[in-house]
Amino acid sequence: MSTSLMRLAVAGAILATPGAAAAHATLEEANAKAGSMYKAVMRVPHGCDGQATHTLSIQLPNGFIAAKPMPKAGWDLKVKQGPYDQTYDYFGTAMSEGPVEVVWSGGQLEDFHYDEFVVRGRIVDMPDGTALAFPTTQICADGEVSWSELAAPGQDPHDLDRPAPILMVSSSAHEGHGGHGGHGSSDTSAAIPEPVIVGDLKIEASWTRATPPGARVGAGYLVITNTGDEPDVLVGGSAPFASLIEIHEMSMIDGTMRMRPIDGGLVIAPGATEKLQPGGNHVMFMGLTEGIEEGSPVIATLEFERAGTVELMFTPGPMGGGSPFGGDDGAHGGGHGHGNHSHSN
């Protein structure tokens, strides 16, 4: 079945009806903005006519790119690659193919149980009111249930027996690519993204600063809370716009504030919250291959010893300024000494 972009003015009604949500496979968040990172949480409320679900597949629509599924304990995970309907710009990288279907198999979701299956990706720029379908199929021992029906123009979606889960897309908060201010409001603070959960860690308010032309380094800031009973360690990461990621600390050496890598990584103790911020511990983007522009979020992957890897969106604030989210996150402001790495981030 095609999963191309659709214009369905009444598609949102599927997810707005309590009865439908209780019976159908649905998306937890049925609305998202174009140009944003979106976590598709597929809610599966039951099996197949009394039987347990052992396989679940989600077809990913065109316009939902660079998708990464979340593994589930007890389930095998397979990602099917394929071409997109066109070449998309993914933070400066041309992307013409990628994940088009995700399949979890070998599990056991009993008919009387409920579960969620998660895929995270980017919604490209698209017209306001565009509807994206995520056809979802449950496979059981003696059959399957395919949530893949699409309402025809003028058809009431409630008439469908097996409606495909629908995501309604609104226009991006930033018009065009990499806008610099001008949001139609005197409040220039960016919206703080939802916390990202990986293992026992909760990660919040990840941001960076715009870099000057020719800059070779940048810095990333975030807040990490360890809700578990064991320590974890932030050891490094990777990013498409940098050749290396290191975790650095600021320390006083011979009366001078200097920056240096943290040996062994940054430890996040059980129950502790580590705030990576200007003037303190922070993520270093080394060997920038492209500049960081205010208003154009960048994606980086951080690696933890216990929790594993997690992909984060860093929202750029102004060059040399504070957090784009407002508050105290960037209160220390301006540049500071960085040993052999002199930069304004």
Domains of the chain: residue spans and CATH: 6-170 (2.60.40.2230), 196-317 (2.60.40.1890)
Using 50, 70 and 90 to split pLDDT, how confident is the model at 119?
Answer: very high
Find the mean pLDDT for residues 167-193. Answer: 53
SS (H, E, C) the chain: CCCCCEECCCCCHHHHCHHHHHHCCEECCCEEECCCEEEEEEEECCCECCECEEEEEEECCCCEEEEEECCCCCCEEEEEEEEEEEEEEECCEEEEEEEEEEEEEEEEECCCCCEEEEEEEEECCCCCCEEEECCEEEEECCEEEEECECCCCCCCHHHCCCECCEEEEECCCCCCCCCCCCCCCCCCCCCCCCCEEECCEEEEEEEEECCCCCCCEEEEEEEEEECCCCCEEEEEEEECCEEEEEEEEEEEECCEEEEEECCCCEEECCCCEEEECCCCCEEEEEEECCCCCCCCCEEEEEEECCCEEEEEEEEEECCCCCCCCCCCCCCCCCCCCCCCCCCCC
Find the mean pLDDT for residues 43-49. Answer: 85
Higher pLDDT among residues 110 and 192, named by residue: 110
Please determine, for residue 166, whether its predicted confidence score (pLDDT) is greater than 80: yes
Please determine, for residue 189, whether its predicted confidence score (pLDDT) is greater than 70: no
pLDDT for res 21: 34
Higher pLDDT among residues 37 and 57, named by residue: 57
Q: What is the pLDDT of residues 208-265, one digit of tens each?
A: 999 988 899 999 999 999 999 999 999 999 999 999 999 999 776 666 667 889 999 9
Using 50, 70 and 90 to split pLDDT, how confident is the model at 326?
Answer: confident
pLDDT for res 91: 75
Q: What is the pLDDT of residues 93-116, one digit of tens each?
A: 889 999 999 999 999 999 888 899
Please determine, for residue 79, whether its predicted confidence score (pLDDT) is greater than 90: yes
pLDDT for res 309: 93
pLDDT for res 258: 75
pLDDT for res 128: 86
Q: How far apart are the first and last CA of the chain?
A: 48
